[in-house]
Amino acid sequence: MDQQQRIIANRNLSYKLAEAIGRRILEGETAPGDILPGEVELGEMYGVSRTAVREAIKMLAAKGLVLPRPRIGTRV
């Protein structure tokens, strides 16, 4: 797999992960004010890389669903 294909595959994982986490938030499984697990834990839970987790968190932050804070965590 060349570099371009890896970027595309990783981006697809990010979208799917953002959708899964966003669905959990919207369905109430994760309450407002809760802090999401860290990048490593989310990656292990969903079987994706930390890069995919970071991209998914950025997408959710852009939509206003989460608020990432350095050294604190990502708050819903």
Mean pLDDT by 10 residues, the chain (76 residues): 55 88 93 93 92 94 95 92
Q: Which domain holds residue 48?
A: 3-75
Question: Which residues have CB under 8 Å from 62's CB, separation 6+?
Answer: none
Query: What CATH number did the domain enclosing 7 receive?
Result: 1.10.10.10
The pLDDT value given to residue 21: 94
Determine the pLDDT at residue 3. 59
Q: How many domains does the chain have?
A: 1
The b/e string for 20-50 (b: 16+ C-beta within 10 A; e otherwise) is ebbeebeeeebeeeeebeebeebbeebebee
pLDDT at residue 27 in the model = 93
On whether the CB atoms of residues 66 and 58 are closer than 8 A, the answer is no
Q: What is the pLDDT of residue 13?
A: 85
CB under 8 Å to 16, separation ≥6 — which residues?
none
